[in-house]
Chains A and B, each alone.
Chain A
Amino acid sequence: MPVEIPKDSWPGSVNTVTLGATGDQGGSRTSTVTIGGEQSLPFMHFENPTPHRPVIAMEVAAARPADWSAVLLEAWGSTLDDPAVWARACEDAGADLIVLQFGLKGSDDGPVSAEFAVEVVKEVMDSTGLPLVVLGPGQAEIDNSILVPIADATKGERIVLGLCEEGNYRTIVAAAMANDHLVLGKTPMDVNLAKQLNILMTDMGLPLDRIVMDPTTGALGYGIEYGYSVMERLRLAALQGDAMTQLPMLVTPGVETWKTKESKVGAGIPDEWGEWAERGVNWETLTAVALIEAGADVVVLRHPQSLVRVRAAIAELTASETA
């Protein structure tokens, strides 16, 4: 029985964005990462091949994280004491990108400072050749006080700077524009809020191929369905041709899942939850893969075993084989 396969053909596509710059391109990275470019829903190879596979970023904290799950502390060991060593370990483990996350603390438990921040970024860039995403602690004034000097000190590297939020995007966008960097915009699980922020950022003159968006997701069990559906809707809108939704999407299953009780806590929990470390990894990988199926271009993870598993799933999903 001949059956006509229903193929969607969409007028729009996702922007192609390249992160990082090599020596030839005015930076110092040994490799760059290109994401986006999709002309179809995720992995519909019978319509179009996946132009660039989703990539995995590993999160590295600029100062040893005080509140991470013991499962993560055990998995990484003393690596966590030095962001440069940690970033190198992520590269060796097969990460595509490093997300360098600053908190409120700098060296010796003092407040984070511009000097500390620039120094950490330089050390990390010396130890790994991967492109970087650099995120401030998420408080407007402090973010600006470290991201601007970082942007100045790394001109031409095409680092992704963030987070740009509605109340706090101007300074970061300006710093990115002045120094050939990219930005990450984050909005709280809503299609219209995402579009609005993208309009505000592009209105400043930042080209669309230098913006990545984080539409925000919840962890499995804690609102993943909201993030999942917002991402599916954003991707459908992008393919339908709405320019302000055509940005590649970065989401953070690592941050979200490792703060849930299921992943963070090992004692005094029900037997039905099973073994702690494996549960934590499942929580992170299931969240990541569900979001990749919903259109994520970058997933930011924390556990090295999650990296291995999600990487294998991505390889399988992007293999050129068609049904």
Chain B
Amino acid sequence: MALSGIQIYKMLPQTNCKECGFATCLAFAMKLAAKQAELDGCPYVTEESKAALAESATPPIRLVTLKGKAGEAKAGNEVVLFRHEKTFYNRPGVFIRVLDTEDDEVIENKVRTGSSYSVDYVGMELRIDGFAVEAASGDRTRLATVVEALRASTGLPLILVGSDPAVLSGGLDKLEGEAPLIMGADTSNWEAMADLAAGRGAALGIRGGSIEELAQLSEKIKEKGVEDLVLYPAVDSMSASLALNTQIRRLALKNFRPLGYPTIAFAAASGDQGRESLMAAQAICKYAGFVVIDTFAPELIYPLLVLRENIFTDPQKPIQVLPALYEINSPGRSDPVLVTTNFSITYFSVANEVEGAGLPAWLLVTDAEGMSVLTAWAAGKFDAESIAKAVKQFGVADKVDQKWIVLPGHTAVLSGELEEELPDWVIKVGPREAVDLPGYMRQVLN
């Protein structure tokens, strides 16, 4: 856990010699706590203090980065149990599993469609992060062939799954210069797996059915010099998986180092797509750093990637849309201009209702610093002036002959002022909720 300025101060020489460039040791300590200074600035810190400060600067959950030929997947560095406490940082990598026993064509197909998949959500391009290749054949040469073929169609990071280090090394031969994840080590093979991971610069997954088993293995493997570890709580049910992932996150955040690593979840291998989708959803919400699924189907991948985006949005920084004049259902010169703010949810609720109802309209989105209509109005970020400014900025008057502008119902009080700001326009007051817009548009605007 990060130390406070006072805690750091106690570890400094407390002589106020000023050589660090600050007036007092306390001032320097405060800057250190705020990460605005480096410890090197003080020539007199003891080795003991250095070690203690370095330890405290280590994040409770290690950041593990998988690297492919092109692209990376990061997990770890999380600091909270609940997203509202701060935020979740690293979106869990979504990996699609293939078996090396499947036909070459099947694998090739899955990998090509998966790696080229990209879907637009709120102006963001969402993609999967890589593939997991399971050495189900138990054959070193076969795994090597499959990995090599895979590398011809995708550069995304890989996870190699198997229990025999000798077999997995065949796949690793084809991934030089990369940092894949080897999945993984268990009580029977951990020494050889640790050697393999250390030799190849790979991250190592640890498979264990209990907290104790995982902690014990991670300590032993760390002693062998492998530090990029990933924990796999190998339990079957959603309930047991939730419990273990929660316990690991709680202990890690209490600085229990043996469990201070990201986790991986396998929603794969159930053969039941409904269950697979919900296990993956749980893993995204509840603490997995990597999620492996079997099915590559857009109708499943799209909602999963959106869920990941939503849960990992920083609660302090709502997603905003660009202030602009948006066209819904190809509006014409006699269609109304609806006004709202650039808070993404507000924008999407309005756009969604109008679009879904098949009604053409212009949607003018003002810059309200990403606040919803009511909040922005209360904070003075959504008023007659800012609406009039947006009307001019986006040349709205040139787009329509019938100058009807519709205010959100919650801000009816703005209509008087807006009439003064926009004398050529007819100001209408719409409904309070987006859901009532289609009805309003059909009844009042026609």
Give residues in A with beta carbon < 8 Å to B. 1-3, 5-6, 43-46, 218, 220-226, 228-229, 232-233, 236, 259-262, 264-265, 270-276, 278-279, 281-283, 285-286, 289-290, 293-294, 305, 308-310, 312-313, 316-319, 321-323
Contacts and interface: CB of A to CB of B under 8 A. Distances in A.
Q: Which 9 A-B pairs rank lowest in CB-CB distance, beginning with the nearest?
A: A274-B299, A274-B298, A279-B299, A272-B119, A309-B274, A323-B243, A223-B345, A229-B84, A323-B240
Given A6-B247, A270-B120, A309 B275 contact: yes
B310 A273 contact: no
Given A5-B211, A274-B299, 18 more contacts: A3-B256, A43-B242, A221-B121, A222-B349, A225-B311, A261-B356, A265-B356, A273-B299, A275-B299, A279-B302, A286-B304, A293-B242, A309-B277, A310-B278, A316-B238, A317-B238, A317-B242, A323-B247
A61 B37 CA distance: 63
Contacts of A261: 352, 355-356
Contacts of B304: 286
A59 to B, nearest CB: 16
B243 A232 contact: no
Contacts of A44: 243, 246
Interface centre among B237, B242, B259 (most CB of A within 10 A): B242
B269 to A, nearest CB: 15
Instruction: Please classify how large the interface on chain B is, using the bins under 10, 10 to 19, 20 to 34, 35 or more.
Output: 35 or more
A322 B233 CA distance: 13
Interface stretch (B95-103, B133-141, B280-288): B280-288
Interface string B203-224: 0000000111001100100000
Contacts of B306: 220-221
B352 A289 contact: no
A272 B117 contact: yes
B278 A309 contact: yes
A305 B274 CA distance: 9
Contacts of B278: 285-286, 289, 309-310, 313
B441 interface: no
Contacts of A323: 210-211, 233, 235, 240-241, 243-244, 247
Nearest to A314: B238
Contact of A293 (B118, B286, B352): B286
Given A1-B258, A317-B239, A293 B300 contact: no
A289 B242 CA distance: 13
A84 B150 CA distance: 55
Nearest to A221: B306
Interface string B259-302: 10000000000000011011001100110000000000111111
A179 B193 CA distance: 68
Given A221-B121, A272-B117, A272-B118, A43 B298 contact: no
A142 B134 CA distance: 60
A273 B302 contact: yes
A273 B119 CA distance: 8
A312 B247 contact: no
B212 A2 contact: yes
10 contacts: A3-B212, A3-B215, A3-B256, A229-B83, A265-B356, A272-B117, A272-B298, A273-B298, A285-B278, A312-B275
Nearest to B439: A104
Nearest to B302: A273
B254 interface: yes
Interface string B21-40: 00000000000000000000
Given A222-B349, A225-B315, A322-B240, A282 B83 contact: no
A221 B235 CA distance: 30
Interface of B: 82-84, 117-121, 210-212, 215-216, 219, 233, 235, 237-244, 246-247, 250-251, 254, 256, 258-259, 274-275, 277-278, 281-282, 285-286, 297-304, 306-307, 310-311, 313, 315, 345, 348-349, 352-353, 355-356, 435
Contacts of A270: 119-120
A221 B242 contact: no
A225 B243 contact: no
Contact of A286 (B118, B119, B121, B277): B277
B356 A278 contact: no
A222 B303 contact: no
Interface centre among B278, B285, B301 (most CB of A within 10 A): B278
A282 B238 contact: no
A218 B435 CA distance: 12
A289 B243 contact: no
Interface centre among B121, B258, B306 (most CB of A within 10 A): B306
B211 A272 contact: no
A196 to B, nearest CB: 16
Given A226-B345, A275-B297, A220 B303 contact: yes
Contact of A1 (B118, B219, B281, B285): B219
Interface centre among A224, A260, A316, A319 (most CB of B within 10 A): A316
Contacts of A264: 356
A285 B279 CA distance: 11
Contacts of A279: 298-299, 302-303
Nearest to B272: A312
B274 A283 contact: no
B199 to A, nearest CB: 26
A222 B348 contact: yes
Contacts of B121: 221
A282 B299 contact: yes
A225 B91 CA distance: 14
Contact of A290 (B120, B238, B241, B285): B285
A293 B251 CA distance: 20
Nearest to A283: B303
B253 to A, nearest CB: 9
B360 to A, nearest CB: 15
